[in-house]
Each structure stands twice: as C-alpha cells, then as structure tokens.
Amino acid sequence: MGSIPTYSRHEERRNDVKNEQMRKIPKVDEVLQHVSLEQVKAEIPHSLLLFAVRAVADDLRARILKGEPVPEGAFGCDSIAAKAKALAEKEFAASLRPVINATGVPLHTNLGRAPLSAAARQAVDQAASSYCNLEYDIERGERGSRHAHLEYLIRRITGAEAALVVNNNAAATLLCLAALSRGRECVISRGELVEIGGSFRIPEIMAESGAILVEVGTTNKTRLSDYRARLNEETGLILKVHTSNYRITGFTEEASLEELVRLGREAGLPVVYDLGSGLMTELKGIGEPNVADGLRAGADVVMFSGDKLLGGPQSGILIGKKAYIAKMKQYPLARAFRVDKLTIAALEATFRAYYEDARACREIPVLRMLQTPAEELLLRAGALAARLSEIPGVKAEAVVTENEIGGGSGPGVSLPGAATAVRVGGLTANALEKKLRTGERSVVGRIAGGKLLLELRTILPEEEDLLAECVRNAAEGKEA
C-alpha cells in the first residue's frame, strides 16, 4: 500500500531535476551573441541562425522531458552555438553539389549524365551573366526567334532540312506525336514499346499525346507486312523506337528503318525515328546507331537526347523534313517545352565542336571518356594507387575492370576499363564507400568483389588531387 506515495515522491524528485535542467538552457539571444557565431553571421541569414538555435534548444528540452541523460556540457552556449552553426550551415549549403564520378559510367543519369565541354561551360557562363539576343535579331534590330540560334547550326552539322530543340527527348517524343498524329493512329512494333527510366513509357507518352497506339507484330518478331496490314485512313504516322536500353536477341526479326521509310512513302505517311542517344560520330566498340544513319535511311523526323551520346546539356533534338518540323514549332506544346538561354548556349557550343569529328572527340568529355584506351586507364589507375598508398593506413592497387556506358545507352556493351581498388585499415569496403560518398566533396565509387573501386574512366584528371584529399580525410577518420 505504501508504494504509491513512494512513487509520487520519486516522480516529484524527477520533475525537480527536469525543471532544474530546463533552467540551464541558455536564452536564445545569449547563444546568438556567442563569439563562435561571429564569422558565420556574415554568411548565414539571421532568421536561419535563429531557427537553428531554437531547434537545438528544443531538442534539448525534448530530451529532458523524455528523461534522457543530458551531459552537463550540452547546456553550454558554446555547445549549443556549435550545433546550431552546423545545422544552419547544412541547411544553407547548396543541395545540388559536385560529385566525383568514380563509377566508370560516363552517362550516369543519377549523376547528371554528360559533364559539359569547356566551350559549353563558357557559353553558359556568358549567357547567364548578361543580356543576350535570345529572341532578338541584331541585324534588323527587331524581334527574332529563339529557334534560330540552333537551327542553322544543327542543319549544317546533321544535314537535316530543319531542326527544333526542346527540353528533353521525352518532350520531343510527346510533341512530335501530338503535332503529327493527335487523334490518329500511330503504328509501332510490340518489340519497341520501351520504358526509359521509369516515367517515360511509350504507351503512356502516346496516350498523353492523343495519338492512338496501334501495336503490330510480337515482342521478338515484327515484319514489314505486320505494319502494312494495319495501315488505313486513320493512320497518322509510323514510329520506330531504338531499343536503346535493352536488346532482344535470339529468334528475332524487325523491319529496318529503310523498309519502314519505303512503306511510309507508299502510304503517304511520315516515318518517325526515336533514336534516344544522340551519337553523331562513329565510335569504336559502342555499337549504337547514330544520327546520320537515321537521316540516311530517310526518316522524316529523327529525335535524340542532347545529354546522352551527344555530350551536351539536357535537351531533346528533333530534326527532319521542314513541313513536319514547322508543324511541331507551331504546336502549343512547343511553347511549354521550349529551352532557355542557358541550354541554347551550351548546346550551341557542343554542336559547334562537331564540325570536325576529331575535334568533338577531343573536346567533349563524354566522348573522351568513352574513347580512353584501357592501357591509358590502367596507367592512371596505377599512378593513383601509388599516390594513395602513401597515405598512412591506405592500401591501393590498380585492377582491370569493365565499364558500361549508362544513360540507357549501349545495353550489353562493356568497355575494358581500369580502377584503383582502395582499402583503409579498420574500415570495411562499405564503410569506406559511405565515408567517401558523404564527405565534403562527394566521391561515388562502386563496390565489386568486396572491394571499393574508383574507376578511372570517369574521373577527370584534374579531379585526382581532390580525390586523393578525400581518401586522406576518410583514412584520418575525419567527419564528413
């Protein structure tokens, strides 16, 4: 019976302790005056710092109320100020941050696909920092067209009659289907109903566009006769989609683009080719069709991504017959999908490199990465390993690997590569991977066979100093 009052006394004592602890939490203003916040005040807005100090104090209060043990030091202005500073800095830091791509995948969609060429970066910087003739004809002193900047150049480089640039290839597909085949049937092989990265699925894009999907053939075999049998007065266009991220092998058959073009001509229908990756040159060992192949086959419209094998900014490029491109330009969605001056600047500089294939291969990072010979990568992997091995606690060695292209390009293509395998004493491969990934400069490598590999194909030579610094920080156990 006596247990109840005892319990109450116990509870009372606990509340006394809690109240006493609560009183120890310094006032917000007092924390804000702390010397350790002097410098950070110049950079971080007052309201954010205030928010952070309150958040740290609130957290302390919550811990006290829960009866968690709170060490004496946690109540000091210095401790609260330090925590608030870290919190505010974290919130104020950019969310979009540079990453060292050590995965060996040049067109890594999660890592932003193609890094831009020096010329493209300069063009973006210039377009960003001043006014420009985006929609202004300087010669005539009157309103101009934003399409003009790229159209002439793309026509010259590709040999197409006309060109139009939109936000990405998904937008290009939607615009093309809507403008040329809305309310009419669009014939496509069952083997080409692709999904690109989750949200882009041909049947769904088709539905959005208002074109009516007509599937012909089977998953593995579609003949020209299958297409021919489904053409009628409701047909709007014939679509061929490059199965850019998978291959159908074995007992297969497909109608070639040339055959479809002939059929389209007979029936008076446009033939549209969704190529996906915008490969402009012959690249050894890649085995991807390129833009010229599409035009040579006679497709009325060819579309491709600016940030896949073209190596430029995110964009979708439509090229082909003038009448069709004009229809798309006038279609209302073209306004919704139009690109801004930064994209135009980057894409113009990227395309300009293609006047000469050799120049493009030299200047465009993605092309350079794809073509670096395995021997060169192995040499760099060895040099990096030697350098990293000088850091106390680090063991590194060069290993031979295989790389993929990424970005849903060249499925099944493997490029001979080389990596530096790194180990840090006392850390598992997974722990090291996490430390590097979450460090001040994020390094994303890959784990294979229980080892952390840093793939040289995608590490820019000028990033190697910084990379070595990141490994040193990880080895010294510095906090991220």
Ligand X SMILES: *Cc1c(COP(=O)(O)O)cnc(C)c1O
Q: Verify binding: residue 169, ligand X, rule CB under 6 A.
A: yes
CB of 276 to ligand X, least distance (A): 2
Q: Verify binding: residue 444, ligand X, rule CB under 6 A.
A: no
Among 158, 168, 235, 403, binds ligand X (CB under 6 A): 168
Nearest-CA neighbor of 429 among 383, 380, 384, 396?
396
d(CA 37, CA 22): 23
Among 170, 211, 339, 353, binds ligand X (CB under 6 A): 170
CB of 173 to ligand X, least distance (A): 6
**For every residue of 320-343, which 3-state class applies, written as one string?**
ECHHHHHHHHHCCHHHHCECCHHH
Sequence-distant (6+) residues with CB within 8 A of 263 are: 224, 227, 228, 231, 238, 255, 269, 271
Task: Give residues 341-380 in contact with ligand X (rule: CB under 6 A).
Answer: none
d(CA 388, CA 420): 9
Q: Verify binding: residue 439, ligand X, rule CB under 6 A.
A: no
Degrees, nearest 5: CA angle 185-203-193: 100
Q: Verify binding: residue 274, ligand X, rule CB under 6 A.
A: yes
Nearer to ligand X, 367 or 436 (CB): 367
Q: Verify binding: residue 333, ligand X, rule CB under 6 A.
A: no
Among 153, 241, 272, 366, binds ligand X (CB under 6 A): 241
Q: Verify binding: residue 290, ligand X, rule CB under 6 A.
A: no
Beta carbons of 418 and 400 less than 8 angstroms apart: yes
CB of 92 to ligand X, least distance (A): 31
Q: Verify binding: residue 127, ligand X, rule CB under 6 A.
A: no
Question: What number of chain residues touch ligand X (CB under 6 A)?
Answer: 16
Structure tokens belonging to residue 464: 């190697």
CB of 195 to ligand X, least distance (A): 10
Q: Verify binding: residue 276, ligand X, rule CB under 6 A.
A: yes
Sheet holding 316-320, edge to edge: 162-166, 316-320, 301-305, 271-277, 235-241, 185-189, 212-216
Q: Verify binding: residue 84, ligand X, rule CB under 6 A.
A: no
Nearest-CA neighbor of 365 among 309, 321, 440?
309
CB of 174 to ligand X, least distance (A): 10
CB of 284 to ligand X, least distance (A): 21
Task: Give residues 192-211 in contact with ligand X (rule: CB under 6 A).
Answer: 196, 200
Among 313, 316, 320, 406, binds ligand X (CB under 6 A): 316
> For residue 238, what are the CA distances in angstroms to 104, 140, 267?
37, 41, 10
Q: Verify binding: residue 455, ligand X, rule CB under 6 A.
A: no
Considering only 219-227, 274-282, 335-343, 438-446, which stretch makes contact with ligand X by CB under 6 A? 274-282
Q: Verify binding: residue 254, ligand X, rule CB under 6 A.
A: no
CB of 463 to ligand X, least distance (A): 25
Beta carbons of 364 and 353 less than 8 angstroms apart: yes
Please spell the DSSP secondary structure of 7-42, one letter per residue: HHHHHHHHHHHHHHHHHHSPPHHHHHT-GGGTGGGG
Nearest-CA neighbor of 350 among 336, 366, 338?
366
Considering only 97-105, 163-171, 229-237, 392-400, which stretch makes contact with ligand X by CB under 6 A? 163-171
Q: Verify binding: residue 244, ligand X, rule CB under 6 A.
A: yes
Q: List residues near ligand X by CB under 6 A.
A: 168-170, 173, 196, 200, 241-242, 244, 274, 276-277, 305, 308, 316, 408
